[in-house]
Amino acid sequence: MAHHVLAILNQPSAEAAPHDADAAPFAFVDPSTPQLSVLDLGATRGDGIFETISVGSGRAQALEHHLRRFAGSAEKLELPAPDLDVWRAAILAAIAELQPGAESWVKTVLTRGVEGDGRPTGWVYATHTSDFTRVRTEGIRVVTLDRGYRHDVESTSPWLLAGAKTLSYAINRAVLREAKRRDADDVVFVSSDGFVLEGPTSTVIYRVGDRVLTPGTGLGILDGTTQANVFRYAESLGLSTGFELATPDQLRGADAAWLVSSVRLAAPVRQLDGQPVAVDAEFTAGLNEYLLGLRD
Amino acid sequence: MAHHVLAILNQPSAEAAPHDADAAPFAFVDPSTPQLSVLDLGATRGDGIFETISVGSGRAQALEHHLRRFAGSAEKLELPAPDLDVWRAAILAAIAELQPGAESWVKTVLTRGVEGDGRPTGWVYATHTSDFTRVRTEGIRVVTLDRGYRHDVESTSPWLLAGAKTLSYAINRAVLREAKRRDADDVVFVSSDGFVLEGPTSTVIYRVGDRVLTPGTGLGILDGTTQANVFRYAESLGLSTGFELATPDQLRGADAAWLVSSVRLAAPVRQLDGQPVAVDAEFTAGLNEYLLGLRD
């Protein structure tokens, strides 16, 4: 039992000899030693994809949704389709190796591999989670930042990879530094034509009266795995749910707003661009209890 | 003497003990063995920067310009400022270790390192170059593709890191696949408001009469190291040079156009979006001879 574990997947090359099929599909290695070539296109070009999956009580949360999105990202990047049975087995094996803890997460990564090699690189890494209790209750201060793209860029310019979860995340890290400079904790991206999109690592949810809403896919944003569960919870309370575009002003005027993600779960937005946003403490507590309970 | 060499830089941590200064500033390692952690933010988030420097006759081309741009990219990403004396020494040492060849290149990479470690990762990799003689003479077929950003995004939204040479290059690879689908060899990015920007790994140069032009910096594009030398060559012939915005139509109607970059040098554009573009074979040959000659 370890506090973090790493499994490297045995990826077939394009011209794999038939007997390669007999090789173990993945192997555990020491995560504290180097495993990657500096020539790997994941490292030199951010040319790969990933998923981060929450684990509670030894169970991977929304596993099939994550695997489906992983395969979708691979398709957008024209990477070899991941064998989801192998990835699922590696994820479950990694969780089993991990010392049981209250909350953990598993990351899956698939890169295009070493240039010219024709063999992708894949790994599964699992470790324990920081404690997010405080942000889940007290909420976060958020700033809106221009993402530079129009809201329809996913359909007009698919080569921009909007909507794929790629390793090219330098911008998603830069906006968090900008948020810190503005004395905030997180970011909501806004399209160049003024629509609310998503957070750098989260989906935006907002409530207007008895309607729980999210901008929805097709806007160059990710199909949120946690968002789907938030809608299930809202519907169980008799609220309606839907996909609706919003401006930052509409988000600020909502009856409540959250950034939701696999590991941090639902963080209520308590401030947007320096202005207070209503926090619904009771709904938030119930929602996070529901999301945590899904792991049991 | 090797056909490729790798030097890993000894990066000080934020809280480095003073005696760390006695450690060798870099060390050569076997480039065919893994050197990178899967937890390195360069690999998991494309959170780092790079330069690719051409080498001829054992000399690094435009070395000081590349180092200056490397430091500028680090600043844009708020990475620790690279010690350029150490990087220069590592680059020169790598070149000295490399088996002499007609043309080679050196890549410098600086990442934010393993998350939470506070110590960046740096390496210098050198190897031989493919033969670009054919594209330098016959030219390339290019398609224009929307980059999604307005031309002024570098000044309005610096968190988008436009103008920094980051490891988050998945889009720059995706557009080349799109070019291939359109039966072309390379790409010219166009801003969402219709201006010619740059190639995914090159600067656009075009000639109108006796004026040699390029879109120039401040448009979220890189300050081309080869472009500066192209202007020197043009001026030596009595041509004037300048920075001027162009539309794809203006580029197509130019008297000649090139994509220029450190390693491939000047590739004449012979087709843009399926339409022929004039090729000035004599100027191109003289230009590439000049650029190659700078390495002597």
Task: For chain B, list the domains and their CATH numbers.
Answer: 4-128 (3.30.470.10), 133-293 (3.20.10.10)
Q: Which residues pair with B5 in a beta bridge?
A: B126
Q: Which tens digits make up the pLDDT trace of A177-213?
A: 999 999 999 999 999 999 999 999 999 999 999 999 9
Confidence band for B13, pLDDT divided at 50, 70 and 90: low
The average confidence (pLDDT) of chain B is 93
Q: Residue A96: helix, strand or coil by DSSP?
A: helix
Statement: residue A11 has pLDDT above 90: no
The reply to whether residue A168 touches residue B46, judged by beta carbons under 8 angstroms, is yes
Q: Looking at the partner chain, which of A112, A153, A173 has a beta carbon nearest the beta carbon of B47?
A: A173
What are A89's two structure tokens? 């087995």
Instruction: Kindly indicate the confidence band of residue A102, based on its pLDDT and cuts at 50, 70 and 90.
Output: low
Contact A35 B39 (CB under 8 A): no
B166: contact with A, CB 8 A cutoff: yes
Identify the bridge partners of residue B28 per DSSP, sorted by sequence position.
B7
pLDDT at B96: 94
What's the pLDDT score for residue B193? 95
Q: What is the largest CA-CA distance in chain A?
A: 63
Identify any residues that bridge with B266 across adjacent strands, giving them in sequence order: B260
How far does the CA of residue B14 sit from the closest CA of chain A (Å)? 18
User: What ipTM, to 2 d.p.?
Assistant: 0.94
- Enumerate the residues of chain B whose CB falls inside 8 A of the CB of residue A28: none
Contact A57, A295 (CB under 8 A): yes
How high is the pLDDT of residue A16? 52
Q: What does the buried/exposed string (b/e) look like for B58-68 if buried means 16 or more CB atoms within 10 Å of the residue's CB?
A: eebbbbebbbe
Q: How far is CA B89 from CA B53, B84, B85, B108, in A?
A: 14, 8, 6, 12
Partner residue opposite A45 with nearest CB, options B36, B150, B173: B173
Return the pLDDT at A100.
Answer: 80
Instruction: Decide: residue A238, CB within 10 A, 0-12 exposed, 13-18 middle, 19+ buried.
Output: exposed
| B293's tokens | 């000659």
pLDDT higher than threshold 90 for residue A19: no
The rounded percent of chain A whose pLDDT value lies above 90 is 84
- Give the tens place of pLDDT for each residue, B209-238: 999 999 988 898 998 999 999 999 999 999
Name the band, by pLDDT with cuts 50, 70 and 90, for residue A99. Answer: confident
pLDDT tens profile A124-150:
999 998 889 999 999 999 999 999 999
- Segment B135-156 shows an average pLDDT of 96
Closest CA in chain B for residue A73: B170
Per-residue pLDDT tens over the stretch A198-207 = 999 999 999 9
Enumerate the residues of chain A whose CB falls inside 8 A of the CB of residue B107. Answer: 44
Higher pLDDT, B101 or B121: B121
Predicted pLDDT at A21: 60
Q: Which helix (H) or strand (E) holds B246?
A: none
Averaged pLDDT, A224-238:
95
pLDDT class of A103 with cuts at 50, 70, 90: confident
Q: What are phi and psi of B2, to 5 degrees?
A: -130, 165
